[in-house]
Structure 1
Amino acid sequence: MTDPQIALLMLGLFIFVVLLGFPIAFTLVAMGLGFGYYAYYDPLRMQTIFDNRIFDLFVQNTFSVMSNEVLVAVPLFLFMGYVVERANIVNRLFFSFQLAARHLPGSMAVAALATCAVFATATGIIGAVVTLMGMLAFPAMMEARYNIRFASGVICAGGCLGILIPPSIMLIVYAAIAEISPLRLYAGALFPGLMLAGFYMIYVVTRAALNPSLAPKPKAEDIPLTTVLSELGKSFVPLFVLILSVLGAILMGLATPAEAAAVGAAGGLLLAFIYRSLSWERLKESVFLTAKTSAMVCWLFVGSWTFAAVFSYLGGHDIIKEWFLHHDLSTVGFLVLAQTTIFLLGWPLEWTEIIIIFVPIFLPMLATFSVEPLFFGMLVALNLQTSFLTPPMAMAAYYLKGVAPSYVKLTDIFSGIMPYLAIVIFTMVLLYNFPGIALWLPEYLFGPPSY
């Protein structure tokens, strides 16, 4: 076999092993070291079995990841999210949004989506949002006799907004891989994220208006406007101030993502203290989960960079690039093929494998097809919503199933998710035809890109 064929075997074997259930990070490390040992094997310089450049590459990649300034923001944003999640802010937020939206069709679903969007800006942790809303909003909708599929789709789709809406962990990872400013990515993702959340709400209100049996209206209650404003002031305003201080500092260029994340982590602790939900046990749990998730992200980077280096050295990137160029694709054809590939990969794989392994395959080709890395990143971020929503993996569905009542079937959740997949694809088409949705704010705040 030739080296490029070995590279393709390496890629196929990785997908197969991951589908068997092996840990992704350590599968990447094992594949990188195993195939790298073959790629860098030099019998003339070998004195012992460890005289192979793959071990030097592995150590170098480990050091590079641990000293990467962009990735410093990851544990700080995670800590902020876990603290806010455990501060009992979300139940207050959902209740206040429910009061504010009580006259709309599907008011509980609208409140759930609004809560997910706001909570996503405070956490960026997908599993946490879906699980928490599955325990809070889903039982409330079931008690109000909402259709199971309708309610399931709302929770799963809304919970995945954290992939796109800043401070998304995925955007930080993409920034490190594509070597572009996370500030520009955050600015670029703001409007598409809010637009997608808005489309979800429009769909929910329209469906509930056309078919009221999906979301029965609650009993009419005469609630004074002052009560609604008071509840919003207690729940939404403090969290909004925290979000504004973090994202505002980033987008206005007053702080780096890491510095803003540090302020956000401190603000999350202050909010938890104000709401009297800051305890030693909750703080300990937040620190443990932050360390656990951060370690996973770092090892994913170490393994993926080693894997990608070996894959490229064997000629894997070249053979894929030549395949694309051989078909003489236009820019539109390249984007459609690239995004279709990422969409299909979302069926068996999660966003971490896709963004760390497969997206770097397309990045070197962006200049050839005159595609801005930031614009491509926005399309990928939208597309990766589907990695959590597309069966059979559809991790959002499994998160919800884990906390839903036993009578809720997984097939019902899958069925409820499907309309939101269509909305994601529609939003991607809209973004492609009107790229200013993503590109206007970064250019306005930071000027034209330097890449």
Structure 2
Amino acid sequence: MEWYWTLTVLLGSILVMMAIGFPVGIAFLAVNIVAAMIYFGGNGPILTQLELGIGTLADNAFGSMANFALVPIPMFLLMGELFFHTGLANRMFSGVERLMGRVPARLSYVTVAGGTAFATLSGSSMGSTALLGTLMVPEMSRRGYKNVLSIGPILGTGGIAMLIPPSALAVLLGTLAELDIGALLIAGVVPGLLLAAMYAVLIYGITRLDPDAAPAYPVDIAPWTERAIILLRDVLPMVSVVIAVILLIMVGWATPSEAAAFGCLGVLVLAIAFRSLTLTAIWKSLEGATRVTVVALLIIFGSATFSKTLAFSGGSAGLITWVTGFDISPMVMLGVMFLILLLLGMFMDQLSMMLLTVPIFFPLAQSFGFDMIWFAVIVLLAMEISFTTPPFGLLLFVMQGVAPPGTKFTDICLAALPFMGCAMLLVLLIVVFPEIATWLPSVSRP
């Protein structure tokens, strides 16, 4: 079978199964089993082909899953779950709000600042959006904030979870693409902070153009001594955990797995210090982290054989040869892959997108001479933007579920657009100035 028919049958079968309601992991597993029978099962009886095919599938999959580089995923997830269920997240948000004083649109800035910190600790875009939507939107709506300054910042900061470490999705992407996990985690720091700063500038610009977007209201100003106490007690301890995790990886004192374990320990120590660590919080944290970890491992299980099947069948090599045979500039190809990710994000979650695109996109990117870490950061940004792309971005539906009654879906979509524009601008800046993503990894961990 020609490579293009192989690629069409494999991808088409997966998409059809997903369209009729099969979970993405089951769809990939079923197609992988059939493909393994055909390509790895030989020409014997059907049962022999099935046995050989499943044996090859298991060997490839379990070899990929027994990878020490995957350890940060459950650890980062547990870290975020503990941060949320122990109440440390609420304590940090309340502290940031008290520190803002009478700044116009202060709650929007609190959302960006607190949301960025929580996103880094949780590593979950949907979890961050759900928490911020529940905590902040009702209060901002009561204060008369327009949707662009109440819902918009939440949708924007939810995506930062993919960039700033600790990011479980960055670890998963690096594992699937066989990249340096530590370098990829560090590469997201500058783009993530830059994106948060762009959101703050956007909020300032909106309030200058439309003061009614965030009406002023009386605020009790805490004295400077109380602000110092709030900063030292409620904000810095939580932020210091993130900074410590990043520095441990940067200076090479710990692997990403060891840094993730340190982060979990740090959150546990803080929860004990604030007397908020309960058996219920521990159980809920373990349950939440386990649920997402199992899904991630199922994704890896399917991806391992899917990549090898594409390679063995000639699908990957044929596609790369075909694409590189055209007189297409690398930037045009980058734009095509970026648009495909945006389109897929309207219908799929990030894990499904990774499973479908990594085996194809990263070999293509390598053939065009892209820096793999730089390309991976752009892929993460594309996935972030696709999460809020109307009309089917998943974060839009999460926000719809936690928004105050009467909030229209169209209003949520319109509120997301300016913040999507900031993320698109950041992608353009990274393309023009690759050092935004590559400088920090190059100066750390020689």
Equivalent position of 2:177 in the other structure = 178
Change (3 A) 1:17 1:406: farther
Equivalent position of 2:55 in the other structure = 56
Which of 306-315 and 179-188 deviates more?
A: 306-315
Q: Matches of 2:182 and 2:378 in 1, distance apart?
A: 17
Change (3 A) 1:19 1:51: closer
Equivalent position of 2:32 in the other structure = 32
> Secondary structure of the residue that 2:136 maps to in structure 1?
helix
Which of 341-350 and 244-253 deviates more?
A: 341-350
> Secondary structure of the residue that 1:21 maps to in structure 2?
coil
Which amino acid in the other structure matches residue 304 of structure 1? S
Q: Matches of 2:356 and 2:324 in 1, distance apart?
A: 21
Equivalent position of 2:420 in the other structure = 421
Shift of 1:51: 4.7
Segments ≥4 residues shifted beyond 6 Å? none
> Secondary structure of the residue that 2:386 maps to in structure 1?
helix
Q: Matches of 1:367 and 1:402 in 2, distance apart?
A: 40
Equivalent position of 2:214 in the other structure = 215
Equivalent position of 1:161 in the other structure = 160
> Secondary structure of the residue that 2:248 maps to in structure 1?
helix
Change (3 A) 1:57 1:154: same
Equivalent position of 1:280 in the other structure = 279
Q: How many pairs align?
A: 446
Q: Does 1:191 align with 2:220?
A: no
Shift of 1:245: 2.0
Q: Matches of 1:417 and 1:263 in 2, distance apart?
A: 35
Q: What pairs up with 1:236-255 in 2 under 5 angstroms? A: 236-255=235-254
Q: Matches of 1:296 and 1:222 in 2, distance apart?
A: 46
Q: Matches of 2:256 and 2:37 in 1, distance apart?
A: 37
Shift of 1:302: 0.4
Equivalent position of 2:42 in the other structure = 42
Shift of 1:16: 3.3
> Secondary structure of the residue that 2:303 maps to in structure 1?
helix
Change (3 A) 1:114 1:222: closer
- The percent of aligned pairs where both chains have the same amino acid is 27
Shift of 1:149: 4.2
Equivalent position of 1:432 in the other structure = 431
Shift of 1:236: 0.8
Equivalent position of 1:394 in the other structure = 393
Q: Does 1:85 align with 2:123?
A: no
Give yes or no for contact 1:347–1:390 (8 Å, CA) kept in 2: yes
Shift of 1:50: 5.1
Q: Matches of 1:23 and 1:89 in 2, distance apart?
A: 34
Give yes or no for contact 2:159–2:384 (8 Å, CA) kept in 1: yes
Equivalent position of 1:146 in the other structure = 145
Shift of 1:348: 1.8
Which amino acid in the other structure matches residue 99 of structure 1? R
Q: Does 1:235 align with 2:230?
A: no
Q: Matches of 2:195 and 2:148 in 1, distance apart?
A: 20
Give yes or no for contact 1:102–1:108 (8 Å, CA) kept in 2: no
Shift of 1:386: 1.4
Q: Matches of 1:345 and 1:248 in 2, distance apart?
A: 34
Q: Matches of 1:415 and 1:264 in 2, distance apart?
A: 37
Q: Matches of 2:376 and 2:3 in 1, distance apart?
A: 30
Give yes or no for contact 1:152–1:417 (8 Å, CA) kept in 2: yes
Q: Does 1:261 align with 2:260?
A: yes
Q: Does 1:368 align with 2:367?
A: yes
Which amino acid in the other structure matches residue 216 of structure 2? K
Which amino acid in the other structure matches residue 178 of structure 2? E
Equivalent position of 1:316 in the other structure = 315
Give yes or no for contact 1:85–1:128 (8 Å, CA) kept in 2: no
Which amino acid in the other structure matches residue 402 of structure 1? G
Q: Matches of 1:20 and 1:157 in 2, distance apart?
A: 31
Shift of 1:221: 3.4
What is the CA RMSD across the aligned residues, in angstroms?
1.8
Q: Does 1:225 align with 2:216?
A: no
Which amino acid in the other structure matches residue 429 of structure 2? L
Structure 2 length as normaliser, TM-score?
0.95
Q: Matches of 2:184 and 2:218 in 1, distance apart?
A: 44
Shift of 1:287: 0.9
Shift of 1:261: 1.0
Which of 325-334 and 154-163 deviates more?
A: 325-334
Equivalent position of 1:22 in the other structure = 22
Equivalent position of 1:127 in the other structure = 126
Change (3 A) 1:97 1:51: closer
Which amino acid in the other structure matches residue 27 of structure 1? A
Give yes or no for contact 2:126–2:398 (8 Å, CA) kept in 1: yes
Change (3 A) 1:68 1:147: same
Give yes or no for contact 1:87–1:271 (8 Å, CA) kept in 2: no
Q: Does 1:378 align with 2:372?
A: no
Write the deviation string for residues 137-187 of structure 1: whole angstroms up to 9, x where unpaired. 111111211113431111111112101111111210121122221111122
Q: Matches of 1:304 and 1:391 in 2, distance apart?
A: 28
Equivalent position of 1:6 in the other structure = 6
Q: Matches of 2:47 and 2:432 in 1, distance apart?
A: 58
> Secondary structure of the residue that 1:366 maps to in structure 2?
helix
Give yes or no for contact 1:148–1:408 (8 Å, CA) kept in 2: no
Give yes or no for contact 2:316–2:360 (8 Å, CA) kept in 1: yes
Q: What pairs up with 1:344-359 in 2 under 5 angstroms? A: 344-359=343-358
Unaligned runs of 5+ in 2: none
Which of 297-306 and 144-153 deviates more?
A: 144-153
Q: Matches of 1:16 and 1:313 in 2, distance apart?
A: 23
Give yes or no for contact 1:348–1:392 (8 Å, CA) kept in 2: no
